Structure 1
Amino acid sequence: MYGTLALFWTATGRGFPFGENDPDGDASLLRGLPAEAGAPLFAAVLVATAVAAVGMAGQPRVRLRGAPRTLLLAFGWTVVAALLLVVPDARLLTVAGYAPMLVIGAPFGWPDVDYAEIFTWPLANMAFSVAGGLLLARALLSWQFRTAGACVSCGRSGRARGWASVGSAARWGRWATYLAAAIPVAYALTRFAWLAAALLGWSDGHLEEFDGDAVVWVGAGLGAFAVVGAVLTVGLVRPWGEVFPRWVVGLAGRRVPVMLAVVPATVVAVFVTSASLGLLTSGVLWDLAAGEGSWLALPMLLWPAWGAALALATLAHYLRRRGACPRCGLSG
């Protein structure tokens, strides 16, 4: 479907949402991409991906071996990486961070924002890209498992060994989880310090461009939600992340569905990683880090590590809790 939309962009010369057509794309990896090149590039890649996906779903799928299989997998995973990490930028993470404030404050008219300036055509296409990338990744992974002679659902062809075993995943997953929780806490501390400085009048002009009341409180709100995210991240390795605690009315004592943790954590890992790639390569983050109030930007330099650590923590949580496969019956 998205490929059809890209064909429309190519045929009409209208609607391409990225590159030179994106007025707010300074921190995008696609910045500067002309529509004349971008639209047909998107169309060609997406249509080719659709054809490949149809081929994977056909009967000949199990016969593909050697170099053709490797090339098809390389193409597929390259497209997945582009959809998840190249097309999106920091705006998805920003909106995700602002979402609780926008939802809670909307009935009270706060914050005073124009929603049409937030939920834009480029943002919608980034969301489509992430959704498509995740769906393609799942389909590609199933095909990769099937053509390797493993279970199409879990990928196991025997008892899991090495890094994928339950014991090993518990060990390396713990380190990844604590790192993934520590970085947003560092980010939150700078936002709380910023709020304290503003309330106590300690900014003495050094944060003049950041000192608006609304900006400070929004920053503090983002810090608060970063702490909430860090706590939920720690839940990936804690008992209350596997069984609902007593204070969760109606669910206390029940097992937390694995995907209830895996899906949102995966999405956040994608958002963080894509945001960090755009910010670091565009120079936007470096300019912030070198200017006034640089300490506000310094924790953001750790975002690539945050995204990678959260992805690993999520994978470890899945490997540790997936249990016996309902399709093949294998466990471990």
Structure 2
Amino acid sequence: MAVPANQQVGRGSSGWAVVLRRWPSWAPYAAAVWGVAYAAVQLAWVARGIALPLGAHHAFPPAVQLVLAGLALLAAGACLAAVRARGRFARTAAGATLLVVVPVFVLGTFGAPIEFVSLIGGAGPSGAGLAHLLLDIPGAGLLLVTGLSVRRRARGRCPRCGQAHAWGSDRPLEHPAPSRASAKVQVAVYAGMSGILPWAITKTIWTLGGDALGMTAEQWRAANADGSGVTKALASVGIDFTVLAAMLAWFLMVGLMYRWGQVFPRWTLFLSGRRVPRLLPLIPAWLTGLTLALYGTGILVAFPFFFAGAGGMAWMTAFGGLAFAGLGVGLLVAACSYAARTRPACGREA
């Protein structure tokens, strides 16, 4: 069952649908509240000696937390100024401030999918690191949509849909008909997906008891003896947990490219035929894509300096960098295409 073109969500909607539809009016205030709360948490952590982890064995110095607290307060002030300022200079200054601080908190979401996979796998994420991610992710989202609405207003466009129209922004939303990604996007995404194959094949050989890259299955199990019970249970039947997680990223990428990612297919039972909320696939795609793209690219850049000539494990490191970078870039490309194809517009009729 297909969702028709120009499907409307109008004044007849109630509850959370109406609240979400009016996000340009409340998002800046919510972002300001978040900024104050974020700064308070960081200052409390510094006072209690709780540091933000940097990897498994290192932590950021307290000065970094103080800087983050200051930037959060600056972002809160910019959000309020963006909606309350009357002069052009004040609005421009607020927009420029958001342009500087938003990327900082977006980069703060780095590692979210890694923590999530660790949690599902039973390895257990770090307390302060997980708490910071849970605090940073909604704030980064609020700052992004606030900056987006400010940018649209500055260009004389509707802050909600981004289109240039004479009617108000509280009209019914018209959603485009389901569509598939262009051929160029599909080629780019599938090319990124293919980067995982050397890494996935090698790990699968080890979990099945074979030898690869000069390492036996026994050596691989010994090197991963500290894994969680879930990881070991899956490995006992020939399934590597990280490969399984990568397959979920594959599924997400495919859904972002085709129509069934915009309308729930028949196998979803009672959801069949309903429109998929845009943010349902976009949020995990953006979070995971950003982390994997940065992580994988970093491995590939560092490989010639630290891993070259190290034997079979050097190849595995290169395979991992190729897999993560490919998955990350593929997710970001697919997400950008999906966001453009599913972008709604404010309708004429109330």
TM over 0.5: yes
CA apart distance, 1:188:
5.2
CA apart distance, 1:257:
2.5
1:211 equivalent to 2:221? Answer yes
Which of the numbers 191, 197, 200 marks the counterpart of 1:191?
200
CA apart distance, 1:290:
5.6
Letter in 2 for 1:73: G
1:301 equivalent to 2:321? Answer yes
Residue matched to 2:134: 127
Residue matched to 1:2: 38
CA apart distance, 1:137:
0.5
- Going from structure 1 to structure 2, the CA distance change for 1:147 and 1:204 (only over 3 Å counts) comes to closer
CA apart distance, 1:248:
1.6
Query: Structure 1: which 5+ residue stretches go unaligned?
Result: 103-112, 159-165
Q: Structure 1 stretches (4+) deviating beyond 6 angstroms? A: none
1:316 equivalent to 2:342? Answer no
Q: Is 1:151–1:157's contact at 8 Å kept on the other side of the alignment?
A: yes
Q: Is 2:200–2:243's contact at 8 Å kept on the other side of the alignment?
A: yes
Quote the Cα distance in structure 1 between the aligned partners of 2:297 and 2:163.
Answer: 33
Residue matched to 1:163: none
Residue matched to 1:79: 101
Residue matched to 2:88: 64
TM-score by length of 1: 0.71
Which of the numbers 52, 62, 67 marks the counterpart of 2:78?
52
Structure 1 segment 78-117 matched on structure 2, within 5 A: 78-85=100-107, 87-90=108-111, 92-102=112-122, 113=123, 115=124
CA apart distance, 1:99:
4.5
CA apart distance, 1:289:
6.6
- Going from structure 1 to structure 2, the CA distance change for 1:289 and 1:153 (only over 3 Å counts) comes to farther
Letter in 2 for 1:17: L
CA apart distance, 1:47:
1.2
Which of the numbers 238, 251, 263 marks the counterpart of 2:258?
238
Letter in 1 for 2:103: A
Q: Is 1:3–1:43's contact at 8 Å kept on the other side of the alignment?
A: yes
Quote the Cα distance in structure 2 between the aligned partners of 1:289 and 1:132.
Answer: 40
**Deviation digits for residues 223-261 of structure 1, max 9, x if unmatched?**
122123212211222122222222221122333232322
CA apart distance, 1:198:
4.8
Moved more, 234-243 or 211-220: 211-220
CA apart distance, 1:48:
1.2
CA apart distance, 1:100:
4.3
- Matched position secondary structure for 1:206: coil
Letter in 2 for 1:120: G
- Going from structure 1 to structure 2, the CA distance change for 1:286 and 1:135 (only over 3 Å counts) comes to farther
Instruction: Give the CA RMSD over aligned residues.
Output: 3.6
Which of the numbers 50, 56, 67 marks the counterpart of 1:24?
56
**Deviation digits for residues 180-210 of structure 1, max 9, x if unmatched?**
4543453255234323245343248536763
Q: Is 1:244–1:252's contact at 8 Å kept on the other side of the alignment?
A: yes
Moved more, 43-52 or 72-81: 72-81
**Deviation digits for residues 138-191 of structure 1, max 9, x if unmatched?**
111111212221101011116xxxxxxx9xx976x5534553454345325523
Quote the Cα distance in structure 1 between the aligned partners of 2:79 and 2:292.
Answer: 28
- Matched position secondary structure for 2:271: coil
**Deviation digits for residues 2-46 of structure 1, max 9, x if unmatched?**
012233345x2622314xxx46266xxxx6x532x2232122211
Sequence identity (%): 23
Q: Is 2:109–2:133's contact at 8 Å kept on the other side of the alignment?
A: yes
Letter in 1 for 2:77: V
Residue matched to 2:277: 257
TM-score by length of 2: 0.68
Quote the Cα distance in structure 2 between the aligned partners of 1:180 and 1:126.
Answer: 27
Which of the numbers 29, 35, 50 marks the counterpart of 1:15?
50
Quote the Cα distance in structure 1 between the aligned partners of 2:198 and 2:116.
Answer: 19
- Matched position secondary structure for 2:336: helix
Query: Structure 2: which 5+ residue stretches go unaligned?
Result: 1-36, 166-175
- Going from structure 1 to structure 2, the CA distance change for 1:242 and 1:88 (only over 3 Å counts) comes to closer
